[in-house]
Structure 1
Amino acid sequence: MGYFLGLIVVLGALWLGLSGMFKPLLLTLSVISIVISILLAARLNTVDREGVPYARAPNLFLYWGWLVIEIFKANWPVIRACVSADLDINPALVKVKTRCESDLAKTIFANSITLTPGTVTVEVEGDKLLVHALFEESATPDAFTEMDERSWRAADGRQAGKTTQVKA
Structure 2
Amino acid sequence: MKYALTLFVALTANWLLWSGHFDNPFLIGLGIASCVICLWLSSRMNIVDEEGAPAHLGVRPFLMYAPWLAKEIVLSNINVARIILSREMPLRRNLISVPARQKSELGRVIFANSITLTPGTVSVRLEGNQVLVHGLSLSESSDEMTDEMGERVCRIERGYDDAVDECDDEPIVSDSNTSGQGAS
TM value normalised by structure 2? 0.71
- Secondary structure, counterpart of 2:151 in structure 1: helix
Residue aligning to 2:66: 64
1:133–1:139 contact (8 Å) kept in structure 2:
no
- Secondary structure, counterpart of 1:47 in structure 2: coil
Question: Is 1:38 aligned with 2:39?
Answer: yes
Q: CA RMSD in A?
A: 2.8
2:99–2:142 contact (8 Å) kept in structure 1:
no
Which whole-Å CA distance do the structure 2 matches of 1:72 and 1:139 have between them?
A: 21
Cα 1:70/1:16, change in 2 over 3 Å: closer
Question: Is 1:145 aligned with 2:147?
Answer: yes
Residue aligning to 1:159: 160
Which whole-Å CA distance do the structure 2 matches of 1:7 and 1:68 have between them?
A: 22
Which whole-Å CA distance do the structure 2 matches of 1:47 and 1:65 have between them?
A: 26
Residue aligning to 1:82: 84
- Secondary structure, counterpart of 2:75 in structure 1: helix
Q: CA deviation digits over 1:115-141, x for unaligned, max 9?
A: 222222121112211111233422433
* Matched letter for residue 126 of structure 1: G
Which whole-Å CA distance do the structure 2 matches of 1:140 and 1:8 have between them?
A: 38
Identical-pair percentage? 38
Higher helix share: 1
Which whole-Å CA distance do the structure 1 matches of 2:87 and 2:107 have between them?
A: 39
Question: Is 1:53 aligned with 2:59?
Answer: no
Unaligned runs of 5+ in 1: none
Residue aligning to 1:4: 4
Cα 1:15/1:138, change in 2 over 3 Å: same
Residue aligning to 1:135: 137
